[in-house]
């Protein structure tokens, strides 16, 4: 028997009261996991009102106490790590190992939030003029919101609300309506850690819910991760409503393979980075650019990819799970067919992959193209599936120019044993996150997630020091104080001098 997915508003779990509903299904089996009724307009307003009321007291909580909340929360997340991962695996179809990685990368950000006292230190200059000092404080904004995608339902919410709340804000979380169950578990543990009512609120809904939140006058900042099309709409809507907005958006990530690269390490990295998580990650390697003679390795890539197979969440031999929905599978297979029609050579076609024991799953097998050109749809569009496109160029300069012509710039990598080539690549490439012999260069949380160009809208990036700046405002104080014994006596104050004898 399925259960109702609950919202969390002002310290209470409640059922949705909106008119729209959705069934939450397991992508590997199509079995119904839960029933979701979206929030009503009134419930959205209640959540924001609760967050606004809680902000009045939460912002006054000493910073070390907010840090201790995060310490307790990360301890609970670690204790329940595998429990969360199992929920996530059913929610998304990910393999258990992949799901555990999703949870762990979120925990790392919570650990960084526990370091918030050091991150919120201001600046001071004494005697900027005669008897005048200037100093700054970092203060919270108010109510913040987060809109998170289906592909990392633990990690990405944990990018957002722990940092925002540690800074002294309150938060409204709107997770993907496709995978709401993981978010509910994250909220339950946050409550158990001791979070006061109203500090974190959980709302489920669709585009109309997001629009209501973005236009709400009591929300000050909005964070989003998802597709470029939706991200652009959210950025324009939020900024027009006067909000601070950050949008981590679409990508088309290239791995440049130099002829001098370590072949075994490179091919292993390329296979895992291209089809891991069914290719459903914004940092996946979807294009391999072979420089010079490195193109001769393509047959060996085909051999390795042909051995990779998707499977159920608890199958230890499965490399990845199903894609999120039937609609996602249809889009991926349509793009594969379009690539063939446009003249690319399909060395492996996973469109018709089936898993006999789970025939209803949204399975797509590893797919490999070569002879891909920049004009093809499989190159221009983010496929978001286990599809690798291979391209060949003559020089490193050609590879850099190819990548820089693309409008997105989320992540890229180069595999080489030549320090000069690596230095040239990292310096000239117009991409925010660069890996050198590292296929997916997602930075650890004491740095920030720094996509560039069409992969990002906003001024400040996710987690790390930039997240603190995103979720706070700076107040600068310029003060003059003078002191003399005569003034002290005239004011009736006691003599404050200290006899040291």
Q: Please identify every residue annotated as catalytic.
A: 282
User: Which residues does 440 contact at the CB level (< 8 Å), separation at least 6?
Assistant: 273, 281, 283, 284, 285, 411, 413
- DSSP one-letter code for 154: T
Helix (H, G, I), strand (E, B) or coil at 19: coil
By the 8 A CB rule, do 39 and 87 touch? no
Q: Name the residue with tokens 């949008």.
A: 247
Report the C-alpha gap between 383 and 377 in whole angstroms: 9
Tally of CB atoms within 10 A around 8: 23
* DSSP E strand boundaries for 242-384: 244-248, 253-257, 285-291, 345-348, 367-370
Long-range CB pairs of 232-241, under 8 A, 24+ apart, other chains included = 232/457, 234/147, 234/210, 235/457, 235/458, 237/211, 238/214, 241/214, 241/215, 241/217
- DSSP one-letter code for 317: T
Beta-strand pair 244-248/219-225: parallel
Report the C-alpha gap between 50 and 47 in whole angstroms: 5
Q: Name the residue with tokens 């597709």.
A: 227
Report the C-alpha gap between 108 and 112 in whole angstroms: 6
Q: Name the residue with tokens 């409503």.
A: 241
CA–CA distance from 259 to each of 254, 262, 392, 422 (Å)?
Answer: 16, 9, 12, 13
DSSP per residue over 391-458, as a string? EEESSHHHHHHHHHHSSEESEEEEE-S-HHHHHHHHHH---SEEEES-SS-PPPTTS-B--EETTEES
Beta bridge partners of 477: 135
């Amino acid at each position: 028997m399925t259960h109702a997915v609950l919202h969390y508003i002002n310290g209470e779990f409640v059922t949705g009261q909106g008119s729209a509903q959705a069934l939450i299904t397991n992508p590997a089996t199509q079995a119904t996991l839960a029933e979701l009724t979206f929030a009503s307009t009134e419930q959205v307003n209640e959540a924001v009102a609760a967050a606004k009321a809680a902000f009045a007291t939460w912002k006054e909580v000493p910073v070390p106490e907010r840090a201790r909340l995060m310490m307790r929360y990360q301890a609970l997340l670690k204790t329940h790590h595998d429990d969360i991962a199992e929920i996530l695996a059913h929610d998304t179809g990910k393999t258990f190992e992949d799901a555990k990685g999703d949870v762990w990368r979120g925990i790392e950000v919570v650990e960084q939030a526990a370091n918030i006292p050091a991150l919120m230190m201001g600046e001071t200059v004494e005697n900027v003029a005669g008897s005048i000092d200037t100093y700054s404080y970092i203060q919270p904004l108010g109510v913040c919101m987060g809109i998170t995608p289906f592909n990392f339902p633990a990690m990405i919410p944990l990018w957002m609300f722990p940092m925002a709340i540690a800074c002294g804000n309150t938060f409204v979380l709107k997770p993907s309506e496709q995978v709401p169950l993981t978010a509910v578990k994250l909220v339950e543990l946050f409550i158990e850690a001791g979070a006061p009512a109203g500090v974190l609120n959980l709302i489920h809904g669709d585009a109309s819910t997001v629009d209501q939140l973005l236009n709400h006058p009591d929300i000050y900042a909005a964070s989003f991760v998802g597709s470029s099309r939706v991200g652009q709409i959210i950025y324009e809507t939020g900024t027009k409503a006067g909000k601070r907005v950050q949008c981590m958006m679409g990508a088309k990530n290239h791995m440049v393979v130099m002829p001098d690269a370590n072949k075994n390490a490179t091919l292993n990295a390329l296979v895992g980075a291209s089809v891991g998580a069914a290719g459903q990650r914004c940092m996946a390697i979807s294009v391999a650019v072979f420089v010079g003679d490195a193109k001769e390795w393509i047959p060996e890539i085909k051999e390795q990819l042909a051995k990779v197979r998707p499977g159920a969440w608890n199958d230890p031999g499965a490399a990845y799970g199903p894609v999120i929905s039937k609609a996602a599978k249809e889009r991926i297979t349509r793009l594969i067919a379009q690539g063939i029609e446009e003249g690319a050579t399909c060395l492996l076609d996973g469109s018709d992959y089936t898993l006999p024991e789970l025939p209803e799953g949204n399975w797509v097998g590893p797919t490999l193209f070569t002879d891909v050109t920049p004009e093809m749809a499989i190159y221009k569009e983010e496929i978001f599936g286990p599809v690798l496109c291979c391209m060949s160029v003559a020089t490193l300069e050609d590879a850099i120019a190819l990548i820089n012509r693309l409008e997105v710039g989320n992540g890229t990598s180069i595999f080489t044993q030549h320090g000069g080539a690596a230095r040239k690549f990292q310096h000239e490439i117009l991409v925010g996150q660069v890996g050198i012999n590292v296929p997916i260069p997602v930075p650890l949380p004491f740095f920030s997630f720094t996509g560039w160009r069409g992969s990002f809208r906003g001024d400040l990036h996710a987690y790390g020091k930039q997240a603190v700046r995103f979720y706070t405002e700076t107040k600068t104080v310029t003060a003059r104080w003078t002191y003399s014994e005569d003034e002290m006596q005239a004011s009736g104050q006691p003599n404050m001098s200290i006899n040291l004898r």
